[in-house]
Amino acid sequence: MHNDVSSTSVLPARPRWRSLVLGLSVVATALTFGACEDDPFGFNNWESFEDTVQLFSLARPELNLPSAYNFNRRSLHQVEAANASGQWDVALDTRGGQLVLLAPRVLGIDGQAGIAPLPNESFETIVEAPADSTLYITSAAVPVVTGQLYVIRTNQGTGSFGQRCTYYAKMEPLSADAELGLLEFRLDSNPICNSRDLIPPAN
């Protein structure tokens, strides 16, 4: 009889333990999503990660030089490569003796990427990318000005959960040599789908 009572007292506890484990699993999953780029629950946690990049002008005679950049994936691309279409947001070229930034549409490539020059902003203090879509230049060359801030709106892509995502980044040219066809710039980007924040919430 003692064994029967013991069994009766233990069995009802099992569903409660399962509920607790399930609850912890849901919390863990939610926290994991909160750290992901394309969080469907609306978390906006990310950390600043400044980087420095070099691009070569399309006007240079050498082939296979990285002349374009994807600001979300933080990857260099060769514009002339067969699979480059749709993979980059900004390319570098030389026009009229000056280095210029080009969105894909300038080269006849379909895309939503745009460049917003913001001469009155600084890299350290800009809080948010402009909401006004007219500020993003998509169909004309944008002159490179050393020390000036530019906000980049990336091409649209499909997020981890199937939604359409645009990402935003800031860049500042550090050195620009039109004769060599070489640009060095620093950047930081927000990895959160459709978020225009340019400074992490913790900052």
**Whether residues 30 and 75 fall in one domain:** no
| Range of the structural domain that residue 17 is part of | 2-34
Global model pTM greater than 0.95: no
**Whether residues 107 and 8 fall in one domain:** no
Say how many residues make up the chain: 203
What confidence category does residue 5 fall into, taking pLDDT thresholds of 50, 70 and 90?
very low
138 belongs to a structural domain: yes
**Whether residues 57 and 12 fall in one domain:** no
203 belongs to a structural domain: no
pLDDT digits (tens, 9 = 90+) for 43-102: 678 999 999 999 999 999 998 999 999 999 999 999 988 888 889 999 999 999 999 999
Q: Cα–Cα distance between 9 and 102 in angstroms, integer?
A: 72
Report CA dihedral (83, 173, 50, 134) to the nearest 10 degrees: -70
What average pLDDT is seen over the chain?
A: 84
**Whether residues 139 and 164 fall in one domain:** yes
What confidence category does residue 203 fall into, taking pLDDT thresholds of 50, 70 and 90?
low
